[in-house]
Amino acid sequence: MNVGPQARPMNLAFDEYGRPFIIVKDQERQKRLTGIDAHKSHILAAKSVANCLRTSLGPKGLDKLMVSPDGDLTVTNDGRTILEKMDVDHEIAKLMVQLSKSQDDEIGDGTTGVVVLAGALLEQADVLLDKGIHATRIAEGYEQAAAIAIRHLESIADKFEFSRDNKEPLIETAMTTLGSKIINRLHRKFAEIAVDAVLSVADFERKDVDFELIKVEGKMPKRVSDARIAILTCPFEPPKPKTKHSLLVQTVEDYEKLREYEHNKFEEMVDQVKATGANLVICQWGFDDEANHLLLHKQLPAVRWVGGPEIELIAIATGGRIVPRFEELTAEKLGRAGLVRELSFGTTRERMLVIEECANSRAVTIFIRGGNSMIVEEAKRSVHDALCVVRNLVRDSRIVMQVADTETPGLEQYAMRAFAEACESIVLALADNSGFGPIETLGELKARHATEDNPRLGVDCLQRGTCDMREQKVIETLSSKRAQLMLAVQLCKMILKIDDIRAMEDKQEYSYPMG
Active site residues: 78, 111-112, 385
- Beta-bridge partners for 202: 209
CA angle 214, 215, 216 (to 5 degrees): 125
Write out the E strands in 77-156.
none
- 232: three-class secondary structure by DSSP: strand
- Cα–Cα distance measured from residue 305 to residue 309, given in angstroms and rounded to the nearest whole number: 12
Cα separations in angstroms, 299 against 151, 206, 246, 296: 66, 45, 35, 5
Do 388 and 382 touch, CB atoms closer than 8 A? no
* Start-end of H helices in 348-477: 373-395, 414-433, 438-452, 469-472
Strands 398-400 and 223-232: unpaired
The sign of the torsion formed by the CA atoms of 303, 304, 308, 310 equals negative
- Cα–Cα distance measured from residue 434 to residue 123, given in angstroms and rounded to the nearest whole number: 23
- Cα–Cα distance measured from residue 343 to residue 340, given in angstroms and rounded to the nearest whole number: 10
| Among candidate residues 10, 6, 26, 46, the one with its CA nearest the CA of residue 502 | 26
DSSP 7: P
CA atoms within 13 A on the CB side of 37: 9
| Among candidate residues 420, 460, 447, the one with its CA nearest the CA of residue 59 | 460
For the chain, report the end-to-end CA distance as a whole number of angstroms.
54
